[in-house]
Amino acid sequence: MNGASTLFKKEVLRFWKVAFQTVCAPVLTAVMYLLVFGHTLEDHVKVYDSVGYTQFLIPGLVMMSVLQNAFANSSSSLIQSKITGNLVFLLLTPLSPLAWFVAYVGAAIVRGLAVGAGVLLVTAWFAPPGLDNILWVLLFTVLGAGLMGTLGLIAGLWAEKFDQLAAFQNFIIMPMTFLSGVFYSVHSLPGVWQGVSHLNPFFYMIDGFRRGFFGVSDVSPWLSLGVVASSFAVTAGLALSLLKRGYKIRS
């Protein structure tokens, strides 16, 4: 795993060198969501008795930013390297599939955490959400970012052009994050849609994460942890198998 640390550092440096685009811009986007939705709905929506809507919204926005940026990091790095051809520098090395996985997903987690911390710092200034259990917060952040970094790795391997990656992001990742309870509690939905939401693993990431702030959640945090951890295990297994086969990167 000696070379994995270099790949990890390189992947972190890659986004850090353009932090204005990869960290600051998503923070600004999340603040915009908070200002618009928080201001509009604060007096109209009540999710939990002890929690105002703006407070409720903050953990959702933080987690949405973590998830989207973790996915963007591994997927965009891989597709850029494939299309520009500089992936050859990695393909020629003795790095194992596990080293690739640890480095790409590790860097995705770091970017997710950096953006998430930025969003939390800025939005908490508007309405501090409180903190019930930091362990849930950290566990769901790291696992959620890891799951999305892994999905980004799979998407980056699969996509042959930017268009395909954008389709993956816009038609799968974006709807699943938006429909996971970022802006509302799934209990406010009709029964059918509540059922559909419970099939969405993103719902468990956000619900478990929110539990860490408020001490209340739509489902048990242990159930959320089980769903998120098993989703991560399945996608990690798939990503490692694709890397081992050299799927779409070794002919």
Partner 1 sequence: MPNAAAPPAISFENVKKTYRGGQVKALDGVSFDIHAGEFFGLLGPNGAGKTTLISVLAGLAKATEGRVRVMGHDVVDDYAAARKALGVVPQELVFDPFFSVRESLRIQSGYFGVHGNDAWIDELLHNLGLTDKANANMRQLSGGMKRRVLVAQALVHRPPVIVLDEPTAGVDVELRQTLWQFIARLNKEGHTVLLTTHYLEEAEALCQRIGMLKAGRIVALDRTSQLLAGTASTMLRFKTDAVLPPDIAARARVTGRIVQVTAHDANEVESTLAALRQVGCPIEDLEIGRADLEDVFLEIMQGEHA
Contacting positions for partner 1 (CB under 8 A) = 2-3, 5-7, 9-10, 13-14, 17-18, 81, 84-86, 88-96, 246, 250-251
The nearest distance, CB 3 to partner 1, in angstroms, is 4
Cβ proximity to partner 1, 94 vs 191, nearer residue:
94
Cβ proximity to partner 1, 9 vs 198, nearer residue:
9
The nearest distance, CB 92 to partner 1, in angstroms, is 5
Cβ proximity to partner 1, 7 vs 61, nearer residue:
7
Cβ proximity to partner 1, 6 vs 188, nearer residue:
6
Crossing angle between the packed helical segments 53-84 and 97-123, to the nearest 10 degrees: 140
The closest of 225, 27, 188, 18 to 119, measured between CA atoms, is 27
Backbone angles phi, psi at 124, to 5 degrees: -65, -20
The nearest distance, CB 249 to partner 1, in angstroms, is 9
The closest of 84, 132, 107 to 10, measured between CA atoms, is 107
The nearest distance, CB 75 to partner 1, in angstroms, is 16
Q: Which residues contact residue 73 at a Cβ distance below 8 angstroms, ignoring those fewer than 6 apart?
A: 11, 15, 22, 107, 108, 111, 112, 149, 152
